[in-house]
Structure 1
Amino acid sequence: MEVSIPQMVDEFPQVMWWEADELVPILVGMGAGTVFEVFTAGMLAGLVLSGIYIRYKRNALPGSLHHMIYWWGTSGLNTVFTNGLETEAEQ
């Protein structure tokens, strides 16, 4: 039996030709389109947003999206070490 091994350990799983995180804008657009009864427009908006996300993700440094989310204040970067200059023994 042949098993698919990803090139990087932290890569998202593939769904057809997209990575799983690249499908989120499409699914959100489809969900919003269903709620507001404009499914086709929501799906097209999701495809456009997904294309923009994919283009940004491919041209940016790895991990930059996580840092941008932290910079906007919507998530913590590290919950274990509040001060990045401290070692584990100093806490």
Structure 2
Amino acid sequence: MKPIEIPRRVDEPPHLLLWSMDEFLPIGLGLVFGIMLASVPICLGIGLVIAHVYKRFRDQFPDGYLLHLLYRYGFVNLFARSRTLMNPFARIFYS
């Protein structure tokens, strides 16, 4: 069994028990939707599968890769408070 690392720095994502919040979110949402739809085992299973796939994706790439993908395709720029972010669709930058 692989030991679980507990965060030691301020910039690490928040944890809930042994899981990081981004791993626990699909499971929690599956549980909530399962309660609302009266099919807890099915929705919880879907949440577990999504969490497993996301964890395998996250472990293959460096930290913050998913945020970089979201920024590249323009999703993070929608929530920016300032206009200092570069256009994620620009591929050539001139100084």
TM-score by length of 2: 0.69
How far apart are the structure 2 equivalents of 1:6 and 1:54? 17
Identity of aligned residues (%): 28
C-alpha change, 1:73 and 1:35, in structure 2 (3 Å) is: farther
Per-residue CA distance 1:39-84 (angstroms, 9 max, x = gap): 1111111111001111111111221111222234332185442338
Q: Which residue number in structure 2 is paired with residue 69 of structure 1?
A: 70
How far apart are the structure 2 equivalents of 1:82 and 1:69? 13
Per-residue CA distance 1:19-52 (angstroms, 9 max, x = gap): 1111000011111111111111111111110011
1:42 equivalent to 2:72? Answer: no
Q: Which residue number in structure 2 is paired with residue 82 of structure 1?
A: 85
How far apart are the structure 1 equivalents of 2:33 and 2:73? 24
How far apart are the structure 2 equivalents of 1:82 and 1:70? 10
TM-score by length of 1: 0.71
